[in-house]
Amino acid sequence: MFKKLLVANRGEIAVRIIRAAQELGIKTVAVYEETDKTSLHIMKADEAVCIGSGPRKDYLNIERMIQAALASGAEAIHPGYGFLAENPSFPMRCIEAGLVFVGPPPQVISDMGSKVIARRIMTDAGIPVVPGTDVLPNNETGERSALEFAQEYGFPVMIKAVAGGGGRGIRTARDPSELVKGLKTARSEAQMAFGNDRIYLEKGLLNPRHVEVQVLADHHGNVVHLGTRNCSIQRRHQKMIEIAPALLPQLMLDKICGMAVRAARASRYVNAGTVEFLLDENDRFYFLEVNTRIQVEHTVTEMITGIDIVREQIRIAAGEPLSISQKDVTFRGTAIELRITAEDPKNNFMAAPGVIQIYRTTGGHGVRLDGAVYQGYEIPRYYDSMLVKLTVYGFTWREAVDRLDRALNGFTIAGVKTTIPFYRQIVKDPDFVEQRFDTSYIETHPQLLSYQDDVPDMEKLAALIAEINAHGYNPYAEP
């Protein structure tokens, strides 16, 4: 096992990785930019290295990460999610520097990062994929091919970036003129976001459900799945609420999980990954993509299985076999995760950075918090607006929903706008309670935005601030 691990990330996922490593007896090294020097992950690690002035550019600098690892004596690097996590050049550079990358091999990341190559691999493995094109050339031939595809399969069609991921690089075209215009726009957006302007088309599925499967694979040929998650509630293709297991009949769950294991083997996967599928209105499922990293929503899977996915990631990277076989994986109850962010839902979910004046969290049986903020923390405008992930567990779906409702009402966050009032609307919505939702849920439920903003009692707020000024706050306290 490693003696020291560098975490090439920030925020809540860095804190999560640090905790798992420390439980394994591994010393941890945090990295940070000057613009992020008050971040909680720095305080949780055993040591920290400043990698530059920032903002963001140094978290994306492979050489800075390698230098920090070598200088600190770290033997391995965990990329978390985002930033460099799905850049195949990063694990390749780690290998060259004699460091272990906690994640899949570079070739797997490269293959799965190309949506066209990934679709080809899955098709060869007998896994159903949404009808689509190869890469469209950037000329009149490409435009003509796109229009012919749309004529064959009908509108809408999805214009997708080959290098896209995480819900980005996707546009919908509903008619020929929108398609022709969208091709140019999508290329430009893909170039800016991913440094790669290649695009392709897929048949648009109307209001599908988004279901994914967590897989683990080691260097010894062992592959297991940890069940499903329903990630259908999204905004602009970005997940907001995640549920485990997915809300589907058991026979369908078993079939999807079997396909996910087949996909992992076909791609020669190693470490933790997620195989994602879309389900149409007739319950037909299609391969969407493989996320070659730890997912934000891994917490719900951990809650219903009791398996520490990050711990398994580290063990696999150290060359150890999986600590579990498929027969050891059991599922119990339901877990729901919400991503609580400093955003204003009424203003198109625009980020709302600022100083957290009051931070009082919820708790109790079946409640898990994964956060990276604290009272007095100033949320930088340069990074993700995530404050804390709230995950609840219930023996039944209804128990989980009731617990979620209670937990949301237990938060007091003052100083910034958050998505908490919006989530309070969702947990009371009859369609959510009755499990009637797909990827169109947010846009087809505009009434969810009719909530009253949280307005703190100014006398109580003043008293709390006076208490902080008198006694200080502890930035090392658990968020």
Q: Which residues are catalytic?
A: 293
Q: How far apart are CA 16 and CA 479, in angstroms?
A: 12
Pairing of strands 238-239, 223-230: unpaired
Backbone angles phi, psi at 325, to 5 degrees: -110, 170
Reply yes or no: is the peptide bond before residue 156 cis, omega within 30 of 0. Answer: yes
Reply yes or no: is the peptide bond before residue 55 cis, omega within 30 of 0. Answer: yes
Residues 182-205, buried b or exposed e (16+ Cβ, 10 A)? bbeebbebbeeebebbbbbbbbbb
Cα end-to-end distance, the chain, whole Å: 29
C-beta atoms surrounding 398 within 10 Å? 11
Contact 186, 171 (CB under 8 A): yes
Backbone angles phi, psi at 347, to 5 degrees: -115, 50
Q: How far apart are CA 343 and CA 41, in angstroms?
A: 22
C-beta atoms surrounding 355 within 10 Å? 12
Instruction: Enumerate residues 6+ apart whose C-beta is below 8 A from 380.
Output: 35, 36, 55, 353
Looking at residue 59, the DSSP 8-state letter turns out to be T
Alpha-carbon separation of residue 180 from 130, 154, 188, 474 (angstroms): 21, 15, 13, 56
Q: How far apart are CA 212 and CA 279, in angstroms?
A: 10
In 3D, which of 179, 185, 236, 184 has the Cα closest to residue 202? 179
Instruction: Enumerate residues 6+ apart whose C-beta is below 8 A from 347.
Output: none
Q: Which H or E element spans position 173?
A: strand 168-173
Q: How far apart are CA 433 and CA 333, in angstroms?
A: 16
Q: How far apart are CA 278 and CA 282, in angstroms?
A: 11
Contact 382, 328 (CB under 8 A): no
Question: If DSSP codes are grouped into helix, strand and coil, which group holds residue 163?
Answer: strand
Looking at residue 435, the DSSP 8-state letter turns out to be T
C-beta atoms surrounding 335 within 10 Å? 26
Q: How far apart are CA 276 and CA 288, in angstroms?
A: 5
